[in-house]
Amino acid sequence: MYWPDIQNSQALRADCAALLDKHEADVIPKVKWPQSIQILEPKAVQTYGNCVIITISGGGIGSGWGFVVYPNQALISSERQTGMQIWGTGQQGIFKFQTIE
């Protein structure tokens, strides 16, 4: 598994907050991905509740992985409800995920 480096976590959180304001539980078309997400070269981006899920790999035979971004730190408690294994990146509100097989 390869998680790309996040160059600007503040911009990523701000862009994800904007996506959450515009889209509720929605797959975001590639043409609407902000630069801070495009640079990660994801396969898919979707809003889900109070977070944005950035899928780097769908997994194929194995499990998928990517990032979950919670722009609002006060709402992090729901990260355990996404059906994924989630762990921190050391950057506020940004977590790595791996789907549970």
Count of structural domains within the chain:
1
Question: Is the confidence at residue 74, as pLDDT, over 70?
Answer: no
The pLDDT of 22-33, averaged and rounded, is 88
Question: Is the confidence at residue 1, as pLDDT, over 90?
Answer: no
Residue that wins the pLDDT comparison between 98 and 81: 98
Residue 4 lies in a domain: no
Lookup result for tokens 């998928």: 64
The pLDDT of 74-100, averaged and rounded, is 75
Residue 3 lies in a domain: no
The pLDDT of 29-52, averaged and rounded, is 94
Alpha carbon of residue 63 to chain centroid: 16
Q: Would you state the pLDDT for residue 48?
A: 87
User: Domain range for residue 69?
Assistant: 9-50+59-99
The pLDDT of 18-41, averaged and rounded, is 92
The CA-based angle 2-98-51, given to 5 degrees, is 105
Residue 33 lies in a domain: yes
Residue 88 lies in a domain: yes
Q: What is the pTM assigned to this prediction?
A: 0.86
Q: Which residues contact 91 (CB under 8 A, 6 or more apart)?
A: 6, 9
Residue 64 lies in a domain: yes
For residue 79, name the pLDDT band (cuts at 50, 70, 90). Answer: very low
